[in-house]
Amino acid sequence: MYTNGSQSTIPSPRSLCTRAPMASTKFHFFLALQVLLSSTLTLAHPGLGYGWGNHGHNYYGLYPEFYEFSCPQVQDIVMTILEKAISKEPRMAASLLRLHFHDCFVQGCDASVLLDDSAMIVSEKNSGPNKNSLRGFEVIDEIKARLEEECPHTVSCADILALAARGSTVLSGGPYWQLPLGRRDSRTASLSGSNTNIPPPNSTIQNLITLFKRQGLDEIDLVALSGGHTIGMARCVTFKQRLYNQNGNNQPDETLERTYYYGLKSVCPPSGGDNNISPLDFASPKEFDNTYFKLILWGKGLLTSDQVFLTGNVEKTVELVKSYAKNPALFFDQFAKSMVKMGSMSPLTGFVGEVRENCRRIN
């Protein structure tokens, strides 16, 4: 042993004999206590067994290093599976981003959207915004199965959704952000919440602002997050009224640019074809960029809920569309910030909820 960092002090044999039993007893007591606490915390709240202090970026109990010790390979596993899935079908990136959005807007970011129908659960997959529309469940299943092999009972389905959304954005050319983790999974779902909280594609600007404000998101978040429509596709049923009966008078939406309008009519006939699809951003549908906002300025936003940022007579949203169309870096920065904000809505943490073994059903 050393005292004052320099001199060596050798205890006498007698002192060792008299102190050893008591020291040994204390050591074994604290060791047992540490093991008990560590195992309990790891099961209930993976990662927290390694310190309760401030982890820098703390969002409602979430922090990026949550799985640093309990499942350090989580990011690599998620990205490996995403790369394969998106390479096979580029559209999947947008589907996974949308899945996270539709989860967070109902009960918070708790993976309730992943639950299938059961004796106890009425699935959110049956809601108007989700039925025959949401995709990507099999990719989430694959990620979960792999993580259960590597880190059993550790990584929540809610965190997988958040990781998949960020990974899909990055793999499409979009921004990377420090992602707070530590969400737990709900044991309930809300079909009614899914039907009422998720903005419909024919929303007015005031309806969009109201629904986002209900979630604690402002106009900046609204426009930035809608920029996620820079990738992906939409079914004809979501925008057909713009082509044939926008205001109940059997006339098209006059804000649609004419050439774009005729092109959409060739994809979506007046009757039938509801499941035909068209790119939300026809100029670069696989690339996460700011073209979405440029198209809105040109009258080529696909959904009513896209174009109303310009035509809804709200000065703030008009300014934001113009700013993001002009400055892609500004859009990327705000999109990342708004994704963190949205992903931190009403998370289940600590001992609330559970970590599902299968994302489709409660344990």
Catalytic residue among 45, 57, 102, 153: 102
What is the spatial distance between Cα 278 and Cα 294, in angstroms, rounded to a whole number? 17
Residue 269 annotated as lining a ligand binding site:
no
* Alpha carbons within 13 A on the beta-carbon side of 254: 3
Residue 122 annotated as lining a ligand binding site:
no
Residue carrying the six token digits 């967070």:
104
Pairing mode, strands 277-279 and 233-235: antiparallel
Residue 108 annotated as lining a ligand binding site:
yes
Residue 248 annotated as lining a ligand binding site:
no
Are 163 and 74 a contacting pair, CB within 8 Å? yes
Residue 152 annotated as lining a ligand binding site:
no
Residue 230 annotated as lining a ligand binding site:
yes
Residue at 69: amino acid letter: F
Residue 159 annotated as lining a ligand binding site:
no
Of 183, 170, 49, 26, which Cα lies nearest the Cα of 103? Answer: 183
Residue carrying the six token digits 């050591």:
27
HEC states along the chain? Answer: CEECCCEECCCCHHHHHHHHHHHHHHHHHHHHHHHHHHHHHHHHCCCHHHCCCCCCCCECCEECCCCCCCCCCHHHHHHHHHHHHHHHCCCHHHHHHHHHHHHHCCCCCCCHHHCCCCCCCCCHHHCCCCCCCCCCHHHHHHHHHHHHHHCCCCCCHHHHHHHHHHHHHHHCCCCCCCCCECCEECCCCCHHHHHHHCCCCCCCHHHHHHHHHHCCCCHHHHHHHHHHHHCCEEEHHHCHHHHHCCCCCCCCCCCCCHHHHHHHHHHCCCCCCCCCEEECCCCCCCCCCCHHHHHHHCCCCCCHHHHHHHHCCCHHHHHHHHHHHHCHHHHHHHHHHHHHHHHCCCCECCCCCECCCECCECC
Residue at 291: amino acid letter: T
Residue 106 annotated as lining a ligand binding site:
yes
Residue 100 annotated as lining a ligand binding site:
no
Is 153 marked active-site? no
Q: Give the annotated binding-site residues for heme b.
A: 229
Q: Give the annotated binding-site residues.
A: 103, 106, 108, 110, 112, 124, 199, 229-230, 281, 289
Q: Give the annotated binding-site residues for substrate.
A: 199
Question: Catalytic residues, which ones?
Answer: 102
Q: Give the annotated binding-site residues for Ca(2+).
A: 103, 106, 108, 110, 112, 124, 230, 281, 289
